[in-house]
Amino acid sequence: MNYDDLVVAMRRLALEAGQKIMEIYEADDFDVKVKSDDSPVTEADEAADALISAGLRAAFPDIMLVTEEQADSHKSKGDTFLIVDPLDGTKEFINRRGDFTVNIAFVEAGVPTRGVVYAPARDRMFYTLADGSSVEEQGPFGLEAAGTTTQLRVAASDNDALMVVASKSHRDQATDDYINRYSVKDMKSAGSSLKFCLVATGEADLYPRVGRTMEWDTAAGHAVLSGAGGAVVRYDDHSPLRYGKEGYANPFFIAYAPGVELKEA
């Protein structure tokens, strides 16, 4: 894989998908359907998926592609692949709360090594460079050339005063019980894969997820966090979260800056 070409393609496709999503988001109304797993899907999910998938298949025809909106792709098996969630945070989108993202990642040998997370309604974009390090680009975002970027680095965590970020739409008692094991200075709430990015920027130290997610929900944010010096581990045994699992389903996990002293599940 030529990482320079990959980063350019992922960034451009995320921006183009974001433009399409925002056209629909800013319309007076849009269609919402319900998938077989009872999760919502909008015309924005489908339009962004079609755009990204076509672009990735044209640029990297020999790389396996897994995307949330194409059920046939979930039957593919391997540990090296491109993986896409064209609109993560569909509930945020439907409720016009803005915390939704475009996610594109490359997984190598079960590890997300490159990725882009773009939040078009928030004008925030995070991605890994060819060398694997992570940056946030400042807008306005041009399709052809990247603008000014800031290198991302996780916080030097103070275990007596941690910043914790948790899900806006999936917060539950189990999550609160786990968070209460830490000395927490403050809490943030965020939707979609932005939670990984808040840990990557140092705006938060810890993001525990005690709930269902799929690999396309997490791969891009995982890559960005890893490129900023952070880590994502399983909730149960603190082993690294791996990708290419059966059905692309994740176990519970913890994303964190390495200075955090993790508590047992």
Q: What is the mean pLDDT of the chain?
A: 92
- Give the pTM: 0.94
Residue 130's alpha-carbon distances to 94, 195, 252, in angstroms, are: 34, 23, 29
Q: According to the model, what pLDDT value does residue 40 have?
A: 60
Q: Rounded distance, CA 97 to CA 100, Å?
A: 8
Q: According to the model, what pLDDT value does residue 159 have?
A: 98
Domain endpoint, select from 124, 151, 178 = 151
Q: According to the model, what pLDDT value does residue 39 have?
A: 64
Considering its fold, how many domains does the chain have in total?
2
**Which residue range forms the structural domain that includes residue 224?**
162-256
- In-domain check, residue 261: no
Domain endpoint, select from 92, 117, 151 = 151
Residue percentage of the chain with pLDDT more than 70? 94
User: Was 236 annotated as part of a binding site?
Assistant: no
Residue 34 pLDDT greater than 70, yes or no: no
Residue 234's alpha-carbon distances to 68, 142, 244, 246, in angstroms, are: 22, 37, 15, 16
Domain endpoint, select from 151, 175, 201 = 151
- 212, 106: one domain: no
User: Was 68 annotated as part of a binding site?
Assistant: yes
User: Was 98 annotated as part of a binding site?
Assistant: no
**Euclidean distance between the first and final Cα of the chain, in Å?**
37
User: Was 218 annotated as part of a binding site?
Assistant: no
Residue 37 pLDDT greater than 70, yes or no: no
- In-domain check, residue 204: yes
User: Was 150 annotated as part of a binding site?
Assistant: no
User: Was 80 annotated as part of a binding site?
Assistant: no
- 38, 134: one domain: yes
- In-domain check, residue 157: no
User: Was 78 annotated as part of a binding site?
Assistant: no
Q: According to the model, what pLDDT value does residue 99 have?
A: 86
43 Ramachandran zone, left/alpha/beta (phi>0; psi -120 to 50): alpha
User: Given the DSSP bridges, would you call strands 40-42 and 124-128 parallel, antiparallel or unpaired?
Assistant: unpaired
- 141, 166: one domain: no
